[in-house]
Structure 1
Amino acid sequence: MPPKTFSIAHIPLRPPTPLAWDGAVWGGMPSLYIDQFRPEGSAHRPRTRVKLAWASEGLCGLFEVLDKHVRCTRTHFQAEVYKDSCVEFFIQPKAQAGYFNFEFNCGGTLLASYITDPTRTETGFKAFTRLSPLQGDQVEVFHSMPQIVDPEIGEETLWHLGFFIPFDLLESYVGPLGQISGQRWRGNLYKCADDSSHPHWGAWAPVDALNFHLPHCFGDFDYKQPER
């Protein structure tokens, strides 16, 4: 089966209202769906859509999640946010280099690393580097939910999570990226909530095991040329 593909639109400037799904910037963009769920999870299948765009300074993204059983307790950078109601963006700018995992709980807390060997070990992965607090501060995160959601919200809840990742941050690990337009990168997007009452593990490009760190399952992201 060929890899899934998605074209990342170019925008001249970052969205002034990062969470406006139907706003002036995000409104006309196509979205992709995180709808490939692992059978190990519960029957809960939150409707999760994502829009992606790039500007000269970096990558922008916006998740929209129609969810239930929403829970969020981790508030510190590099905490285990995947155990909360969480969305994730993995991106590999260069085929011969590693990939980044940017994981956000619905309250806006970030976990992020640069991973060159995702083989599982007792301490995480065989070869990886956690982003420093200063680097984490370079990733802008926007969220509609409060930082802490506890107790769990059982009823249907619509929430949004937006992000901006500067290209400079990626280049500090993989080297110069050059002209972004026309490039093809690899990656994936995920929705999970390991410690909720209804755990689930969903992906955009399907994964062949209960493990999001499988680069061979990544899809392709094409960077559109700027419109003239």
Structure 2
Amino acid sequence: MASLKVPHCSIALEDFTYYALSQQMKSLPWQPIAHVNWKEFPYKPEVHFQMVHDNRHVFIHYSVQEEFVKAQFVRTNEAVWEDSCVEFFVSFDGKASYYNVEFNVLGTGLIGTGSRVKQDRKRLEPETTAKIQTVTTVVNVGGKKKWNIILVIPTAVFVHDEIKNLAGITAQGNFYKCGDGLPTPHFLSWSPIENPVPNFHLPDFFGEIIFE
């Protein structure tokens, strides 16, 4: 099982720009999202992330280099997984239920919550998802497309868990990169998944996330 220790650090948000935030996170190690779990979808873009918390927020910095970048969806709760998309699934109750936090390259997002049973899962209200602040960059040099996104996720979006302080919590989760609607669809994960067909909604394959 994959395991990740998330350090505690104070991140200043007054200058909310990509440069300002990424500079504050530059000393953090990068984690790969590199598992190609389904041979029918072998394409493997270069994807890494950094993660830190300040007790009341989770900060995730994704770095992606891929062949195509697609950004179609602009409204909260639209099908962002069909665009160039990064995702964070997390459970605070031992995997009985979990949140799926999904954002495309534009910073358009959705959050779902509930159990692994599809009929039990619900989308959070757009006003709740809007509490997540994002900043993105896109660079195209020599035909190579690279984009970055930083998510600032307040604990308030985890509406079914009363989290007053992240420090000391051990959660379960996974990190993904997908692009169902891209010319070359792909489905990468941080913690490996053993399933016949692409499916990220499998908490049995979540890794351990330790908030220091």
Q: Normalization by structure 1: what TM-score?
A: 0.83
Once the two structures are TM-superposed, the CA of residue 18 in structure 1 deviates from its matched residue by 5.6
Task: Give the match for residue 203 of structure 1.
Answer: 189
- 2:138–2:145 Cα contact (<8 Å) kept: no
Question: Is 2:60 the counterpart of 1:82?
Answer: no
Specify whether residues 126 and 14 from structure 1 end up closer, same or farther in structure 2 by C-alpha distance, changes over 3 A only.
Answer: farther
The structure 2 residue matched to 1:159, chosen from 147, 153, 156, is 147
> How do residues 1-228 of structure 1 correspond to structure 2 at under 5 angstroms?
3-14=1-12, 16=15, 19-20=18-19, 23-95=22-94, 97-116=96-115, 118-119=116-117, 125-145=118-138, 155-170=143-158, 172-174=159-161, 176-209=162-195, 210-224=198-212
- 2:35–2:191 Cα contact (<8 Å) kept: yes
- 1:41–1:199 Cα contact (<8 Å) kept: no
Specify whether residues 17 and 208 from structure 1 end up closer, same or farther in structure 2 by C-alpha distance, changes over 3 A only.
Answer: same
Q: Distance in 2 between matches of 1:206 and 1:138?
A: 30
Higher mean Cα deviation, 177-186 or 100-109?
177-186
- 1:14–1:60 Cα contact (<8 Å) kept: no
Cα RMSD after superposing both structures: 2.3
Once the two structures are TM-superposed, the CA of residue 67 in structure 1 deviates from its matched residue by 1.2
Q: Distance in 2 between matches of 1:77 and 1:104?
A: 9
Q: Distance in 2 between matches of 1:129 and 1:24?
A: 36
Specify whether residues 41 and 48 from structure 1 end up closer, same or farther in structure 2 by C-alpha distance, changes over 3 A only.
Answer: farther
Residue segments in structure 1 that go unaligned for 5+ positions in a row = 120-124, 147-152
Residue segments in structure 2 that go unaligned for 5+ positions in a row = none
Specify whether residues 111 and 169 from structure 1 end up closer, same or farther in structure 2 by C-alpha distance, changes over 3 A only.
Answer: closer
Seq. identity, % = 23
- 2:129–2:157 Cα contact (<8 Å) kept: no
Q: Distance in 1 between matches of 2:11 and 2:21?
A: 17
Once the two structures are TM-superposed, the CA of residue 139 in structure 1 deviates from its matched residue by 1.1
- 1:21–1:27 Cα contact (<8 Å) kept: no
Instruction: Name the SS for the 2:130 alignment partner.
Output: helix
- 2:55–2:165 Cα contact (<8 Å) kept: no
Q: Normalization by structure 2: what TM-score?
A: 0.89
Once the two structures are TM-superposed, the CA of residue 73 in structure 1 deviates from its matched residue by 0.8
- For residues 34-62 of structure 1, give each alpha carbon's deviation from its aligned partner in whole angstroms, at most 9, with x where no partner exists: 00013345442111000011013211110
- 2:47–2:63 Cα contact (<8 Å) kept: yes
Where do 4+ consecutive residues of structure 1 move more than 3 Å? 14-24, 40-43
